[in-house]
Copies of this chain bind each other. A is one copy, B any other.
Amino acid sequence: MFRMTKFTGYGVVLLMHMARQPDDETHSVTELANEAYLPLPMAQKVLKRLARKGLVESQRGVNGGYRLARPADRITALDIIDALEGAVALTQCAAELDLGSKHDRCEREAYCAASHAWQEINLIVQNALRNVSLRDMVALEWEKSGLRITISGE
């Protein structure tokens, strides 16, 4: 329904790990990759992106590493997805839907009609995502895993 790439999934796992530790502590990619059971190069890639987008800060050199750029309750799900998912589609109207051929003007109009609807939906979804913070995600983790034990042994 709402699709997310693995890349973003990895990012969340890495960020959650940092969010569980004290704020000022830095974490090397090696450490983070181990924690998340991710191949090192992949973790590097994700973290570099997060750094460039300003969600984490980096410190080079010996004993360097990454840490959250701001407290976990001020990093939203929307921030994370925006950062990792790349500039995204949905409301690109004609440009995106264009099959690249004849019909030039009229085509646009047909699609633009629909695009108004999608813009609206897009806003709704964004608002929903803005209301979930990284801190919430970590909190949910405990709530739910607690529940889990009571329910089943699987």
Chain A interface residues toward B at CB < 8 A:
1-4, 6, 9-10, 12-13, 16, 35-39, 42, 77-78, 81-82, 85, 88-90, 96-97, 99, 103, 106-107, 110-114, 116-118, 120-122, 124-126, 128-129, 131-132, 136-137, 140-141, 143-145
Contact = CB atoms under 8 A, between A and B. Distances in A.
Nearest to A10: B97
> Which of A1, A37, A117, A129 has its CB near the most chain B CB atoms (within 10 A)?
A1
Contacts of A111: 9, 13
Nearest to A137: B117
B132 A117 contact: yes
Given A1-B85, A3-B90, A85-B1, A77 B9 contact: no
